[in-house]
Chain A
């Protein structure tokens, strides 16, 4: 049904002078939902919000509130339908909280009559709802950031709008107040049936509170949908040019993003070569790089997840075309990287005829003076798909004097010790 949509935009386009800020924006927002608009700086989020509130007039396209074209409404009519909460409001001349909240009644007040008992009742209710009634006589500038933002929310509520637009409403608040304000807005959408459209910078907050997310990049809607669908590492990498890993908030089950920093905590002199593949090296690669070790990997098939992360960190890789057995060329590259490293780590990978050369490598004479760490020695048998050939090589390797079997946490200690000795 048409009426289900509170705000609708069709083919919105906007430029500042020659600069195209928004192009061809289409969307529909359902009544009573919490929508977040996310995107990098300069992606047009704030402009988008300013067009929804008709502060800016789009050169192309239309915005429809319910069934009314925004263009055909007067300023007062618009302000009875939607209110806007900015990042923060600074006052040069101070006013009492109740006066500020009452200002929200302006679109309803007759100039000659002034505010009626009804207006005062509505303002009081708005203050009660936002927990600001208790300091309604205090001056705005004396309040804390969170209190100020609640007062502005009370003012917005006193406007009795159907739609609440919020432009980074929490960006200058601490965690406690961020949660407090977003909780309040969420509550308004559920209890009062308000439709909230918020520009948010914090993706995890957007994930936690939104029913729907619109992701902007370069003035275009890039992705939109429910948070768990839109917020994935591929989309984030594309829109924000930042690598993240995704998991779920253990309490709420909401999607949670962790940014990956590629800057190591410390630079170390120890170089490590990893024999990995099939995702076995994912965590260790990040851990080692993050701790400042020099890392190389091999032999990995192009497209393998270990290969992908190695590329991301710009590591030296001995690589091979997918589904091919390791060629002599790749083997030699692998050996070369291993010789350059101070030690070699064998991860619990699966062995087939195609990659058995990765195991044979460890018997090379030129590696006799390098320490070889083997991680997770248990159940090698189950990882052997060569019919015992790999197992027999493996058994031989284990008898070499330069081989150490250990667990992952022991490995880190051993490597750090090696680094200290090296210095």
Chain B
């Protein structure tokens, strides 16, 4: 039966992906202002040896690389899910304004100095910003119980611009905090710590698991919302759950690393090209792929123009922008 052969193929694909992730991890940990060789990495991590580079590796590189893996995974899983929910390959947390909303939330908490949730305040604000923006964009593009994808994209872009200009305005008013704010808008992992890793992972990793849990329903959604309804899927509830989880993940990502653009768009597409659009594979594979890509992008950003650092959000946008245009063009020719 085709099920068993598919099973073996799945395990094989998954192993290859995880291998790829591990290789990327070692590369990303190894390169930087100081290059650390694989041998040394191994001996520090597994044998606990106390070499010159131990502090760099354990306190700076490793948490940073692992955070980039987690954030990349979160953004890419969210991108894949949102493309499925809206049945459009051009959608991700960035194009729908969620990332800008989260950034605005984070900036608001920094500027106002509110600390009601203690350490997590910025994270909570980022999450609320993401949710509020998503629902606002969704509401804007909803006419008579239907959400047109074109108006969804347009309102997403419009709201995104609007929020970005508010962020710029706040930067103007709060010149003393400008560096902190720029961090959110450009996306940077330079302040990574183990604490941040634990904080973001505790939202993002369970979030990805929940998204995987709904992958079968998401597959059925590809037939169209009406058809999905006829097969017994509670479409409105499903969309609601998925979008809230997505907002949660995006909020956690943005509060940790700022807005990191295009990754959520690109990673699922690479997976689609290789493994197809079955969400049962797409979501976990995109997560791994996205984690690997973000680790590499951040590592590249660290070494390309030393001693300066390119923020990771800038790196992903530089690489992802052209890919987005390529997709748009491809879709246009398909539609014609």
Contact = CB atoms under 8 A, between A and B. Distances in A.
Interface of A: 53, 55, 75-76, 78-80, 83-84, 86, 89-96, 98-100, 103-104, 106-107, 109, 111, 114, 117, 120, 136-137, 155, 159
B168 interface: no
Given A75-B229, A89-B227, A120-B1, A109 B216 contact: yes
A353 B234 CA distance: 78
30 contacts: A55-B229, A75-B229, A75-B233, A78-B232, A79-B230, A79-B231, A84-B230, A89-B224, A91-B223, A92-B88, A92-B89, A93-B83, A93-B87, A93-B222, A93-B272, A93-B277, A95-B222, A96-B278, A99-B278, A103-B219, A103-B223, A106-B216, A106-B220, A106-B232, A106-B233, A111-B213, A120-B3, A137-B2, A155-B231, A159-B231
A86 to B, nearest CB: 6
Nearest to A17: B144
A86 B226 CA distance: 9
A321 B23 CA distance: 100
B276 interface: yes
Contacts, number: 75
A294 B219 CA distance: 63
Contacts of A80: 232
B229 to A, nearest CB: 6
Interface string B206-226: 000000010011011011101
Q: Size class of B's contact patch?
A: 20 to 34
Given A92-B87, A93-B277, A111-B213, A98 B2 contact: yes
Given A93-B83, A94-B276, A111-B216, 9 more contacts: A76-B232, A79-B232, A93-B84, A93-B277, A96-B276, A96-B278, A104-B231, A106-B217, A106-B220
B232 A55 contact: no
B278 A53 contact: no
B250 to A, nearest CB: 22
Contacts of A109: 216
Contacts of B89: 92-93
Nearest to A94: B277
B173 to A, nearest CB: 43
Contacts of B278: 95-96, 99
Max count, chain A CB within 10 A of own CB: residue among B84, B88, B89, B232: B232
Contact of B277 (A83, A90, A95): A95
B233 A86 contact: no
Contacts of B83: 93
Nearest to B149: A92
A54 B220 CA distance: 18
B232 A92 contact: no
A78 to B, nearest CB: 7
Contacts of A53: 230
Nearest to A105: B231
B211 to A, nearest CB: 14
Max count, chain B CB within 10 A of own CB: residue among A92, A99, A120: A92
B264 to A, nearest CB: 16
Contacts of A55: 226, 229-230
Contacts of B216: 106, 109, 111, 114
Interface string B243-257: 000000000000000
Contact of B231 (A98, A103, A120): A103
Interface in B60-92: 83-84, 87-89
Nearest to B87: A92
B227 A86 contact: yes
A136 B6 CA distance: 14
A135 B84 CA distance: 25
A99 B219 contact: yes
Given A92-B89, A95-B277, A107 B222 contact: no
Nearest to A55: B229
B230 A83 contact: yes
B188 to A, nearest CB: 33
A332 B223 CA distance: 70
Nearest to A112: B213
Nearest to B83: A93
